[in-house]
């Protein structure tokens, strides 16, 4: 909270500074598919391009819509990255290509999309974050049901829960443009087949695309956009210290206390916020009175704040010497327009002495509408009785005894000085014990000390002395003024004491956080960070602390603990896992799995849970007081940022090691291949010369030398080809090719290897030609046939079959060998991999890897599986429709 409304908010300024150098994100937000988000994005992108801005399409899904496709054709489209997953080739946005191209603006469709396994980021919005960090502006699209905070709301009435979501902070930081059409018009578009194909459209009309659902989604989209705009406006207002509440919409605050009746206020504020579609917050003002709360009162505060958080409020706790001033500052900071407070039944005498908080708020917050709800009389009476019992409302006996001793001591000093030398203003001596008592023990003790001092002053120094009688009327006035001065002085001293305590507490917390931040900056491992976090939390809050982080299998495991012997039971572990999965507090003191002795708080960074911190009291009581919870969250937030930094550092180190390994492997392959090629060439040439001589040489031996040399030569060529694939050095020469001729050419080259294996060729003659690189495709067929011959049984046939499919052509090479272990079908294409647990042994692990590299370079797909009807494996190359050559194209 910004303490000075006339000074720019440091937090807002930091957020503005963080945007410097970053690209700007604009999201086209829609209520449902088919409203025209992609079309609107492309239209604005085309307008930017016409204005001279460098615009590229990172990824756009046209879904077969002709008008959308027409806009794409006039734009620069970045090629997609091909990712292999479970034998299939998936197309994803190529982030590296866009970063290398460095356009001014990138168009990225479907922000909530989940990337294929193996991509650098699991979510497309993370790809977009990387583009923004590089200074590239991005246009993107998202439907309202994909916003994380609205996911449950949408599922409640559509009965459809989407699994792909976007964190709210992405939406809040973006410029939003709502793309909206009336529900009737959208339903008409659906019926016309402009959204889904007819079969899917019929099902959608009966479920998701009902008019009631579309109307509700439309309202949600408009409200979410309004909230995002409101948040951005507040940031600007705070960063520039502009006065006023700047309320384009309502903002509601409810003041929470230790009274059970606060729950009624919270529910009323929730109803008010829902009725007006407004954001709302719950604030608890921590005053000196809070320090003397009973455990029951502290628990009541915790329950009230938890209820507010559960109902969707932003909760905050603010410290101050009284209720009014901190509450006014909070209202100014959040630019609130409405305040919900409770009013207790107080006596006229109480209000005359202390004033009314509600009256102060009504008078001093002219821009805020104050809703006053009465507290039940029993709530305040019970709280007052608890307060009397808890803190001894009139002070502690020790304070009174010490104050009396102080007054007695100073009286003795004053009497001695007065007896020997005379003291004109002896009454001033008594101000010292009054100030001391008020400062140490509070105002009431100070007032008592003032009265005692006045009586002793009268008894020892006002004639007639040693009596409480006052003979001179002037002395009556003196005693009265002294008592008033003592009371005022006590109040001032007590107030200074309270403010000093609050300042000391605040400075202590700030110093602890600063020290913790310095320690985190020097840490470089997750283990060190976890031990530091647990140690600091345990020391600051007098609790046991544990940190649980996900392992390689995404399962939580205990990483650090203070004390080290801390053990979690099954209920504790279940609570931690639930909190990690749902990104919410769980365990003791929360509303979920409260039977656990531990309170678990997730470590959140970038909308993702990185781990879970658990705290528990040694005596089994509440782990953290409500007023200390924000302090704990500050530790957790700093630790989450540090953990994210350490994780990214470890990932970058791993990436660097992989790159260096691949570079060394490529250099080794290239070096070995070239060193082997020279003697091989000489051996093959010498063998040819010996065969021509026909004297002094065994023809069979010469044939063996020639065949093995050719085989070794193919191995060397495979290594060189592998280097070309991994370094991106392939140069394609795409030409029309007949599959029958291609298979025959490959079989002819492998006559010796295929000897004894009948070749069953099933390639229909009417198949269209395919556009491939003849040399690369020939090498693919050679490697597939050689692989089939190597693992087929003796004299077992090898089948080559081609089929026309709906989306192109498939060409399969089928053997009758031992087959592949289940689940290992994709690994056979990895470099230098020989599948364990299989009879398919031998070879270098390069042949199939080269097939995969060449096939993908030509825009084809390759997969492996076991035969359905018998032994052996089937390797299939698929030619998409775009690679087929039509007769018209040949004639042209």
Distance between CA 508 and CA 516 in Å, rounded? 12
Question: What is the location of CATH 3.40.50.300 in the chain?
Answer: 10-240
High-pLDDT (> 70) share of the chain, %: 73
Of residues 94 and 302, more confidently modeled: 94
pLDDT at 200 > cutoff 60: no
pLDDT at 499: 67
Sort strands 599-605 and 586-587 into parallel, antiparallel or unpaired: antiparallel
Level-2 CATH architecture, domain 730-889 = 2-Layer Sandwich (3.30)
pLDDT at 618: 77
Tell me which of 193-197, 305-309, 788-792 is least confident. Answer: 193-197
User: Is the model's pTM score more than 0.75?
Assistant: no
Helices in 3-109 by DSSP H: which ranges? 10-18, 37-50, 66-73, 95-101
What does the pLDDT average to over 21-27? 87
pLDDT tens sequence across 754-779: 888 888 888 888 888 999 989 889 98
**CA dihedral of 821, 823, 827, 828, whole degrees rounded to 10:** 30
pLDDT at 281 > cutoff 50: yes
What count of other Cβ atoms lies within 10 Å of the Cβ of residue 328? 18
pLDDT at 723 > cutoff 70: no
The beta strands (E) that lie in 350-419 are given as 369-374
3-state secondary structure of 554: coil
Give CATH for domain 10-240: 3.40.50.300
* Residues 795, 807 contacting (CB under 8 angstroms): no
pLDDT at 806: 81
* Residues 300, 379 contacting (CB under 8 angstroms): no
pLDDT at 580 > cutoff 80: yes
Distance between CA 189 and CA 201 in Å, rounded? 10
pLDDT at 245 > cutoff 90: no
High-pLDDT (> 90) share of the chain, %: 8
pLDDT at 66 > cutoff 70: yes
pLDDT tens sequence across 366-380: 778 888 888 665 454
Q: Which of 199-213, 398-412, 582-596, 842-856 has the highest mean pLDDT?
A: 398-412
| Mean pLDDT estimate for the chain | 77
* Residues 102, 131 contacting (CB under 8 angstroms): no
pLDDT at 214: 74
Question: pLDDT band at residue 801, thresholds of 50, 70 and 90?
Answer: very high
Distance between CA 429 and CA 418 in Å, rounded? 11
Residue burial 108-147, b: 16+ Cβ < 10 Å; e: rest? bbbbbbebbeebebebbbbbbbebbeeebbbbbbbbbbbb
The beta strands (E) that lie in 563-634 are given as 586-587, 599-605, 608-616
pLDDT at 353: 56
pLDDT at 879: 93
* Residues 301, 256 contacting (CB under 8 angstroms): yes
Residue burial 17-33, b: 16+ Cβ < 10 Å; e: rest? eeeeebbebbbbbbbbb
Residue burial 740-757, b: 16+ Cβ < 10 Å; e: rest? eebbeebbebbeebbeeb
Tell me which of 70-79, 630-639, 743-752 is least confident. Answer: 630-639
pLDDT at 199: 47
pLDDT tens sequence across 554-563: 788 888 888 8
Of residues 87 and 540, more confidently modeled: 540
Could you tell me the CATH superfamily of domain 252-390? HUPs (3.40.50.620)
Question: What is the location of CATH 3.30.565.10 in the chain?
Answer: 730-889
Q: Which single residue is written with the structure tokens 């959204």?
A: 195
pLDDT at 668 > cutoff 80: no
Distance between CA 514 and CA 741 in Å, rounded? 74
Helix (H) / strand (E) containing 761: strand 759-762
pLDDT tens sequence across 310-320: 677 877 877 77
The end-to-end CA distance of the chain, in Å, is: 73
pLDDT at 579 > cutoff 80: yes
> Nearest to residue 876, comparing CAs of 833, 824, 815?
815
pLDDT tens sequence across 86-100: 777 888 899 989 998
Question: What is the location of CATH 3.40.50.620 in the chain?
Answer: 252-390
pLDDT at 875: 92
pLDDT at 3: 46
Tell me which of 88-102, 280-294, 412-426 is least confident. Answer: 412-426
Sort strands 808-814 and 873-880 into parallel, antiparallel or unpaired: antiparallel
Q: Which of 140-144, 274-278, 712-716 has the highest mean pLDDT?
A: 140-144
pLDDT tens sequence across 421-453: 665 567 778 778 877 777 777 667 877 887 888
DSSP for residue 597 = S
pLDDT at 128: 92
DSSP for residue 123 = B
């Amino acid at each position: 909270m910004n303490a000075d409304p006339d000074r720019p908010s440091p937090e807002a300024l930091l957020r503005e500074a963080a945007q410097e150098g970053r690209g700007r994100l604009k999201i086209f937000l829609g209520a449902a598919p088919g409203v025209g988000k992609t079309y609107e994005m492309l239209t604005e992108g085309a307008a930017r391009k016409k204005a001279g801005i460098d615009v590229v399409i990172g990824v756009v899904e046209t879904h077969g819509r002709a008008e959308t496709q027409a806009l794409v054709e006039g734009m620069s489209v970045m090629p997609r990255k091909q990712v292999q997953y479970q034998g299939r080739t998936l197309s994803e946005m190529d982030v590296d290509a866009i970063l290398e191209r460095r356009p001014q603006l990138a168009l990225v469709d479907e922000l909530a999309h989940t990337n294929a396994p193996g991509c650098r980021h699991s979510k497309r919005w993370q790809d977009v974050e990387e583009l923004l960090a590089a200074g590239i502006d991005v246009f993107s699209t998202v439907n309202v049901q994909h916003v994380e905070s609205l996911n449950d709301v949408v599922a409640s009435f559509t009965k459809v829960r989407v699994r792909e979501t976007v964190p709210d902070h992405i939406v809040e930081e973006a410029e939003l443009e709502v793309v909206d059409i009336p529900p009737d018009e959208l339903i008409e578009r659906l019926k016309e087949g402009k959204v889904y194909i007819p079969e899917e459209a019929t099902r959608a009309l009966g479920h998701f695309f009902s008019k009631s659902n579309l109307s509700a989604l439309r309202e949600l989209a408009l409200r979410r956009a309004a909230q995002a705009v409101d948040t951005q406006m507040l940031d600007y207002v705070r960063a520039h210290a502009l006065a006023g509440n700047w309320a384009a919409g309502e903002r509601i605050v409810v003041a929470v206390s230790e009274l059970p009746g606060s729950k009624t206020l919270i529910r009323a504020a929730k109803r008010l916020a829902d009725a007006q579609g407004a954001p709302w917050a719950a604030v608890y003002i921590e005053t000196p009175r809070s320090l003397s709360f009973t455990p029951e009162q502290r628990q009541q505060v915790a329950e009230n704040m938890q209820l507010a958080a559960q109902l969707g409020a932003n909760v905050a706790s603010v410290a101050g010497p009284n209720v009014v001033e901190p509450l006014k500052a909070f209202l100014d900071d959040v630019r609130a327009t409405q305040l919900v407070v409770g009013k207790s039944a107080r006596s006229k005498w109480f209000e005359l002495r202390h004033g009314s908080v509600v009256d102060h708020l009504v008078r001093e917050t002219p821009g805020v509408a104050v809703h006053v709800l009465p507290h039940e009389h029993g709530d305040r009476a019970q709280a007052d009785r608890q307060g009397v019992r808890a803190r001894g409302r009139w002070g502690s006996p020790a304070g009174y005894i010490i104050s009396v001793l102080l007054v007695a001591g100073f009286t003795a000093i004053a009497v001695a000085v007065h007896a020997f030398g005379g003291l004109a203003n002896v009454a001033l001596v008594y101000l010292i014990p009054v100030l001391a008592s008020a400062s140490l023990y509070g105002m009431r003790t100070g007032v008592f000390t003032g009265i005692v001092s006045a009586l002793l002053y009268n008894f020892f120094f006002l004639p007639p002395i040693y009596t409480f009688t006052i003979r001179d009327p002037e002395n009556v006035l003196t005693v009265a003024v002294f008592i008033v001065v003592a009371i005022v002085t006590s109040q001032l001293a007590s107030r200074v004491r309270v403010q000093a305590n609050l300042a000391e507490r605040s400075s202590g917390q700030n110093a602890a956080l600063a020290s913790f931040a310095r320690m985190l900056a020097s840490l470089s491992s997750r283990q060190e960070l976890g031990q530091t976090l647990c140690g600091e939390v345990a020391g600051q809050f007098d609790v046991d602390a544990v940190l649980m982080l996900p392992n390689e299998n995404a399962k939580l495991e205990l990483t650090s603990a203070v004390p080290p012997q801390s053990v979690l039971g099954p209920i504790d572990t279940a609570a931690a896992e639930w909190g990690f999965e749902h990104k919410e507090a769980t365990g003791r003191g929360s509303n979920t799995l409260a039977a656990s002795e531990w309170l678990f708080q997730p470590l959140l960074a970038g909308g993702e849970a990185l781990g879970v911190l658990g705290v528990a009291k040694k005596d089994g009581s509440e782990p953290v007081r409500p007023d200390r919870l924000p302090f704990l969250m500050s530790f957790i937030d700093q630790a989450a940022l540090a953990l994210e930094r350490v994780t990214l550092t470890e990932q970058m180190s791993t990436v660097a090691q992989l790159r260096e390994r691949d570079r060394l492997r490529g250099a080794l392959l290239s070096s070995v291949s070239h060193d082997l090629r020279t003697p091989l060439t000489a051996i093959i040439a010498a063998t040819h010369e010996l065969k021509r001589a026909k004297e002094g040489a065994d023809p069979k031996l010469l044939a063996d030398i020639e065949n093995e040399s050719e085989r070794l030569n193919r191995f060397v060529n495979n290594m060189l080809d592998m280097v070309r694939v991994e370094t991106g050095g392939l140069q394609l020469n795409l030409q029309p090719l007949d599959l029958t001729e291609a298979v025959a050419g490959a079989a002819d080259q492998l006559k010796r290897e295929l000897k004894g294996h009948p070749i069953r060729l099933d390639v229909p003659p009417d198949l269209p030609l395919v556009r491939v690189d003849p040399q690369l495709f020939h090498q693919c067929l050679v490697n597939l046939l050689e692989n089939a011959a190597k693992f087929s049984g003796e004299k077992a046939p090898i089948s080559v079959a081609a089929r026309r499919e709906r989306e192109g052509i498939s060409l399969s090479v089928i053997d009758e060998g031992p087959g592949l272990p289940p689940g290992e079908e994709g690994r056979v294409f990895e470099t230098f991999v020989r599948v364990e647990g299989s009879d398919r042994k031998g070879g270098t692990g390069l042949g199939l890897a080269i097939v995969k590299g060449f096939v993908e370079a030509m825009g084809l797909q390759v997969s492996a599986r076991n035969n359905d009807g018998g032994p052996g494996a089937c390797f299939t190359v698929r030619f998409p429709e775009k690679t087929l050559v039509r007769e018209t194209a040949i004639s042209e």
